Amino acid sequence: MSGTPALTYPEDLRSLVEEALEKLRFPAGPATAGLEEAMRYSLLAGGKRVRPVLTLATARAVGADPEHYLQAATSIELIHTYSLIHDDLPAMDDDDLRRGQPTAHVKFGEDIAILAGDGLFAEAIRLFCEQRGDPALVLAALRELAAATGVDGMVGGQYADVTGEAGDAEALRNVHALKTGRLIAAGVGVVLTLTGLPEHEKMPYRRFAEELGVLFQIVDDILDVTGSDEELGKPRGSDERHGKLTYVSLFGLERARELAAESHARATEALAEADGETGDLRGVADYIFTRNE
């Protein structure tokens, strides 16, 4: 790592995301009001909103107005929330707490939690289709987001995770590049596509985003061992209880910390090669590297 001081997290962009999420309403008559309640319960549970903030920070970096991309940003957060609801289910990670409050299936039952996740994913696609811009670019960006979410992305990575496909360092990185990294990278990538940025100008941002996903997972694995229940907002040691291979179980805690530092350095080096005002993106990277929740 270089000695560059850590930058601050772009709280103004997080506020934009929170306001947009709070205003979201899903079509609900009397028969489905309870479903909307369950969807909003998990969606509005808080957090740093890393993925949508990355979207808005990327817009700012390439000289665009972040508010113009709020629909894309909030769509990504809906997808992320759906994945958390399903991850917490008894058939998956079987967690009872998320961000310090009962998980959706504890609060509403497993059946409603599954439907809430399904609803959030569907509404995310609908919302993204309303993103302003060249229709061809919107379609291309939506395709990128769907690919990051599907079999060659988050869902495929979750499958490999629950079936124990990761057996060595390379396999572990590949699993988490799909499970965690693809959606984080999409937070950056959809804006690069929507703005029609030339391909050579996209590459440093894409390298940054890819490495950021790896960094996020390494730190997540470390926190599962070192964090407290209060800091994490959920019980620590979930990975160990489920016998999952992690960066800590494979490399040990100290080496995992070194790998996080190396990953953070690679991310910031890639960002240094990008044109634009990248301070907000660096602030997100620094937050991920130093986070304790």
In single-letter form, the type of residue at position 17 comes to V
DSSP label at 234?
S
Pairing mode, if any, of strands 101-102 and 97-98? antiparallel
Q: Which letter, b or e, does each residue of 83-121 get, where b requires 16 or more Cβ atoms within 10 Å of its Cβ? A: bbbbbbbeebbebeebeeeebbbbbbeeebbbbbbebbb
Q: What is the pLDDT of residue 231?
A: 56
Q: What is the pLDDT of residue 2?
A: 38
pTM of the model: 0.91
Q: Is 23 exposed, middle or buried (0-12, 13-18, 19+ CB in 10 A)?
A: exposed
Determine the Cα–Cα distance for residues 104 and 96; give it in Å rounded to an integer. Answer: 8
The long-range contacts involving 90-96, CB below 8 angstroms and separated by at least 24 positions, are: 92/158, 92/162, 93/238, 93/242, 94/242, 95/234, 95/235, 95/238, 96/235
Q: Which two tokens stand for residue 172?
A: 């572990």
Ranges in the chain, pLDDT < 70: 1-6, 165-166, 228-243, 293
In single-letter form, the type of residue at position 92 comes to M
Q: What is the pLDDT of residue 169?
A: 84
* Residue 289 Cα distances to 53, 165, 181, 215, angstroms: 16, 26, 15, 7
Q: Is 156 exposed, middle or buried (0-12, 13-18, 19+ CB in 10 A)?
A: middle
Q: What is the pLDDT of residue 232?
A: 58
Q: Where are the alpha helices (DSSP H) in 242-278?
A: 247-251, 253-272
Q: What is the pLDDT of residue 1?
A: 33
Domain-wise residue ranges, the chain? 11-290
Q: Which two tokens stand for residue 85?
A: 């609801």
Q: What is the pLDDT of residue 119?
A: 97
Q: What is the pLDDT of residue 122?
A: 97
Determine the Cα–Cα distance for residues 209 and 284; give it in Å rounded to an integer. Answer: 11
CATH of domain 11-290: 1.10.600.10
Q: What is the pLDDT of residue 244?
A: 77
Condensed to tens digits (0 to 9), the pLDDT of residues 93-139 reads 899 998 889 999 999 999 999 999 999 999 999 999 999 999 999 99
Give the CB-side neighbour count of residue 289, counting CA atoms within 13 A.
25
Q: What is the pLDDT of residue 3?
A: 43
* Residue 189 Cα distances to 196, 222, 228, 271, angstroms: 11, 27, 33, 14
The SS3 assignment for 168 reads: coil
Give the CB-side neighbour count of residue 39, counting CA atoms within 13 A.
25
DSSP per residue, 63-99: T--GGGGHHHHHHHHHHHHHHHHHHTSTTTT--SEET
